[in-house]
Amino acid sequence: MTFARTALSLALVIACGPAVAQQHFAPDIAKVEPKVVEWRRDIHQHPELGNRETRTAALVAAHLKALGIETTTGVAHTGVVGVLVGGKPGPVVALRADMDGLPLTERAALPFASKVRTQYNGAEVGVMHACGHDTHVAILMGVAEVLAANRAQIPGTVKFIFQPAEEGPPLGEDGGAKLMQEQGVLESPDVDAVFGLHIDAFREVGSIGYKPGGTMASSDSFRITVNGKGSHGAYPWSGADPVVASAHIITALQTIVSRNVDLTEAAAVVSVGSIHGGNRPNIIPEQIEMLGTLRALTPEARELLRTRLVDVATKVGDSLGTQVKVEVPLGMAYPVTYNDEALTARMLPSLQVAAGADRVELEVAATGAEDFAYFAEKVPGLYFTIGGRPANVPESATADHHTPDFTVDDSRLDVGVRAMVQLAMDYLSNPPAANQP
- H or E, element range at 141: helix 133-148
| Residue 230 Cα to chain centre, angstroms | 43
Q: Which of 98, 166, 340, 426 is catalytic?
A: 166
Contact, 424 vs 343, CB < 8 A?
A: no
* 3-state helix vs strand vs coil in the chain, percent to 5: 40, 25, 35
- The dihedrals phi and psi of 55, each to the nearest 5 degrees, come to -65, -45
The yes-or-no answer on residue 166 being catalytic is: yes
| Residue 400 Cα to chain centre, angstroms | 15
In angstroms, rounded to a whole number, what is the distance separating the alpha carbons of residues 384 and 237? Answer: 56
Q: Show contacts of 53-59: CB within 8 Å, 24+ apart.
A: 53/78, 53/99, 53/100, 53/164, 53/165, 54/78, 56/99, 56/137, 56/162, 57/99, 57/162, 57/164
- The helix/strand/coil state of 45 is helix
Tell me the Ramachandran region of residue 331: left when phi exceeds 0, alpha when psi lies from -120 to 50, beta otherwise: left
Q: Which of 28, 48, 100, 371 is catalytic?
A: 100
The yes-or-no answer on residue 426 being catalytic is: no
Q: State yes or no: cis peptide before 299, omega within 30 of 0.
A: no
- Catalytically annotated residues: 100, 166
